Amino acid sequence: MTGPENAAIVPWLKDLPKVELHVHLEGSLRPTTLFRLAERNGVDVGASTPDELNGLYQFNDFEDFAKLFFTGLAVLRSAEDFADATVSLAAELAAQNVPYAEVTSTPLTHQRRGVALEEYRDGLNEGRRRARADYGVDLAWVCDIARETEDPESEATIGYLLDSTAPDGVVGLGLGGIEAGFPPELFASSFARAKASGLASLPHAGETVGPESIWGALGSLNADRIGHGVHSLADPDLIAHLAAERIPLEVAPSSNVALKISDSLEAHPLGELAAAGVVVTINTDDPAYFQTTLTDELLAAHRFHGFTRTKLVAAQLAALNASYAATATKLRVRAELQRLLPGGAEDQRGQTTRT
């Protein structure tokens, strides 16, 4: 799409208040941040400059990406490292006018690398404090289970989250990692404990495996949202269920393209999911590795999938409604977004009339 509207929407999108529900802390380390932390800790990341490191952010499939992702984890060792990583993400979010985000992190992966969970907790707590104080960004945590490394019977991650050493601001239990071979049903007991304790069930499903994974997350994990869920279109009954029950999907188009799940942004099923009545939220997943931003993802939704300004605002309202933000945050951000809808204050000044 070309023309004045397509050009004019870029500054409008930068100013649009946004909500991110699916971004991994460990996947947000831009080359400059990762390189700085690597130098601090004497970690060889296979590059001598941030620009050279940026050239390594290439992969052919999920498994290939996972290898690079775990290489990057080596730079996170101390509370200071985790705090700095969190603040770097907050600065990026603030620059895009993202006042609230739910950030996924995998605590037991760091413990297995030799990081003390107290260091992890203190770093996340300090980073979250500085995100609010320095950038006005409110962060919440989704701590997830790495499917391929946690014995389901151990309930290790949920045990940690219910312990006094867990970070502040945890709103949900996630399930990530390699999906194939590790169905949601294996982790039902951990998610039952999470739900009983008041935490949300926020698993990845239907990213690299078909509808059966999503059905498993809904049935066995009582999922409140589904991370990705793009393979749901293969099952009309599942689509009808997601739409009827208003179960949000956390869709990340550039991630799906980078991992060869979708051929291109144009061919991505985002528009088809929205047209089917499914609640879709738009996210970045691992923005550093996929070289994207939330603003970029919304621009692609506009260019390729028919998301008008009104629909882009509605998508942010959907994300806000699906979030576990504090009531005061929800009220403030909702008021800002509603002013941008037709008939709102901005529309009455003639600034959002083209939808």
In order of start, what are the domains of the chain with their CATH numbers? 4-348 (3.20.20.140)
pLDDT above 90 covers what percent of the chain? 85
Question: Which residue, among 315, 265, 255, 249, has the nearest Cα to 285 in the 3D structure?
Answer: 255
Tell me the sheet residues that pair with 54: none
Query: Taking all residues of the chain, what is their mean pLDDT, rounded to a whole number?
Result: 92
Q: How confident is the model at residue 241 (pLDDT cuts 50, 70, 90)?
A: very high
* Pairwise CA distance, residues 339 & 40, whole Å: 45
**pLDDT given for residue 57 in this prediction:** 79
Half-sphere exposure of 143 (CA within 13 A, CB side): 26
Average pLDDT on 264-287 reads 98
Active-site option among 20, 26, 102, 207: 207
**pLDDT given for residue 1 in this prediction:** 41
| DSSP string for residues in 139-173 | EEEEEEEETTTS-GGG-HHHHHHTSTTSPTTEEEE
**pLDDT given for residue 5 in this prediction:** 57
**Amino acid code (one letter) for 117:** L
**pLDDT given for residue 329 in this prediction:** 97
Helices (H), the chain: 4-15, 31-41, 50-54, 62-73, 79-95, 107-112, 117-135, 156-161, 188-196, 211-221, 236-245, 253-258, 270-275, 294-305, 309-322, 327-338, 345-348
pLDDT > 50? residue 126: yes
207 is catalytic: yes
Give pLDDT tens digits for 326-337. 999 999 999 999
Q: How confident is the model at residue 186 (pLDDT cuts 50, 70, 90)?
A: very high
- Least confident stretch, 154-163, 209-218, 291-300, 339-348: 339-348
User: Is pLDDT larger for residue 194 or for residue 164?
Assistant: 194
The side-by-side arrangement of strands in the sheet containing 226-228 is: 19-24, 100-105, 138-146, 170-176, 200-205, 226-228, 249-251, 280-282
Any idea what DSSP says for residue 283?
-
Other CB atoms within a 10 A radius of the CB of residue 341 amount to 17
The pTM (predicted TM-score) of the whole model is 0.93
